[in-house]
């Protein structure tokens, strides 16, 4: 409640002008060292704090970047955000975070909040059923950079940071084939966005390449929660011709499914082999360990933030790669698992 100290207060006390104080505080070269020291000391003494609004208002920028994600509380997202925070913080930027909770409506609200907050740029992973990015036009039209990551949307002005979900899906299914599976099932996510659709398409292609059919019976689409994994297992148990391999588009769901199958005596991977996606810590806990696609969250966040910052600083508006592919990696947990079980004996 005590009145805030401004540069005028410092100026008055030192018989200087506010302009000089401002320059002194900023380390402007034209201020003598002794004056600068007096200014800085007095500022501290009086308990001065910089007023970033006034500065923002004057400079027309905020040093803030906005982040919109579907959910904050997933392993991948919190890693990604941790990476962004690191990079942004080091560069003197603050981050404002909001979550859409997978709702396009809430996403739209978040967009306009961040728009009004005048963030300097935006890092976005879309809600799963967002099918248009017209809401982002207001940013794009003003040359405020928007970078999509993970759940992306193609737009000539917006860089994308992703992994090659198509190839990863292909590799996952191919891996199961190489292990001898011939009835390979897929449990996939919402097909509105690109991510899960591409994983699915990669899976289909792998099956075709091996002369297998990706039949409808071998497909379940869900929200990929742990619980839906359990339900999927129930469906599998009821099937006449069971799959001998399952590629699940995320680990939590895969593990829910595996646990339920194991509970009913299904041998994994002998009877049904699994490949998941995300390399969730749980994948190393379940037995047998889950083979999965590793996918660098923190790195993706760092890269996204770095890219956004470079867009902010240079004006090379069109001088970027449209799509940045980060390497993913299939973590084959079979071999290590066999080694582990040998050790136990």
Partner DNA sequence: TTGTAGGCGTTATCAC
Partner DNA sequence: GTGATAACGCCTACAA
**Shortest Cβ 256–a second copy spacing (Å):** 9
The 184-188 sheet, strands edge to edge:
219-221, 184-188, 245-248, 273-275
Distance CA 51, CA 71 (A): 32
Q: List the beta bridge partners of residue 326.
A: 163
Residue 125 found at the interface with DNA (CB under 7 A): no
| Partner from a second copy, DNA, none contacting 73, C-beta within 5 to 8 A by type | a second copy
Binding to a second copy by CB under 8 A, coded x per residue (else -) over 35-54, reads ------------x-xxxxxx
- With respect to DNA, which residue has the nearer C-beta, 16 or 283? 16
Reduce the DSSP state of residue 125 to 3 states and report it: coil
Nearest by Cα to 288 from 334, 245, 332: 334
Distance CA 211, CA 278 (A): 28
Task: Answer for the pair 196, 189: CB distance below 8 angstroms, yes or no.
Answer: yes
| Partner from DNA, a second copy, none contacting 154, C-beta within 5 to 8 A by type | none
- With respect to a second copy, which residue has the nearer C-beta, 28 or 61? 61
Q: What single-letter DSSP state applies at residue 117? A: T
Binding to DNA by CB under 7 A, coded x per residue (else -) over 36-75, reads ------------x-xx--xx-xxxx---------------
Give the distance, in angstroms, between the CA of residue 167 and the centroid of all CA atoms in the same chain.
19
Residue 97 found at the interface with DNA (CB under 7 A): no
Q: Which residues of the shown chain bind a second copy in the complex (CB under 8 A)?
A: 1-2, 4, 47, 49-54, 56-57, 60, 62, 64, 71-75, 77-79, 81-82, 85, 89, 94-99, 110, 113, 115-118, 138, 141-143, 226, 252, 255, 259, 262-265, 281-282, 284-287, 297-298, 340, 343-344
């Amino acid at each position: 409640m005590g009145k805030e100290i401004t540069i005028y207060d410092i100026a008055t006390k030192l018989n200087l002008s506010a302009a000089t104080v401002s320059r002194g505080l900023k380390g402007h070269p034209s201020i003598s060292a002794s004056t600068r020291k007096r200014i800085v000391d007095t500022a501290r003494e009086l308990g001065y704090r910089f007023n970033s609004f006034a500065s923002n208002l004057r400079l027309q920028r905020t040093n803030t970047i906005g982040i919109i994600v579907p959910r904050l509380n997933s392993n991948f997202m919190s890693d990604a955000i941790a990476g962004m925070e690191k990079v942004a913080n080091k560069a003197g930027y603050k981050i404002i975070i909001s979550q859409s909770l997978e709702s396009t409506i809430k996403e739209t609200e978040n967009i306009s909040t961040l728009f009004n907050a005048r963030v300097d740029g935006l890092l976005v992973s879309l809600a799963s059923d967002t099918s248009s990015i017209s809401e982002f036009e207001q940013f794009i039209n003003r040359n405020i950079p928007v970078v999509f990551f993970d759940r992306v949307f193609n737009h000539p002005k917006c860089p994308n940071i992703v992994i090659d979900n198509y190839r990863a899906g292909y590799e996952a299914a191919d891996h199961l084939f190489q292990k001898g599976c011939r009835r390979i099932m897929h449990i996939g996510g919402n097909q509105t966005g690109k991510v899960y659709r591409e994983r699915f398409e990669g899976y289909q292609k792998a099956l075709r390449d091996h002369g297998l059919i990706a039949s409808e019976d071998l497909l379940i689409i869900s929200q990929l929660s742990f619980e839906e994994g359990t339900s999927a297992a129930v469906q599998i148990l009821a099937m006449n011709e069971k799959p001998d391999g399952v590629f699940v588009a995320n680990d939590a769901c895969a593990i829910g499914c595996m646990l339920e199958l194991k509970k009913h005596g299904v041998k994994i991977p002998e009877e049904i082999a699994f490949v998941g996606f995300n390399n969730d810590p749980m994948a190393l806990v379940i037995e047998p360990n889950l083979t999965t696609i590793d996918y660098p969250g923190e790195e993706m966040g760092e890269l996204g933030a770095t890219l956004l910052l470079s867009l902010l600083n240079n004006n090379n508006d069109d001088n970027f790669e449209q799509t940045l592919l980060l390497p993913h990696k299939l973590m084959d947990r079979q071999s290590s698992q066999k080694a582990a079980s040998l050790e136990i004996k």
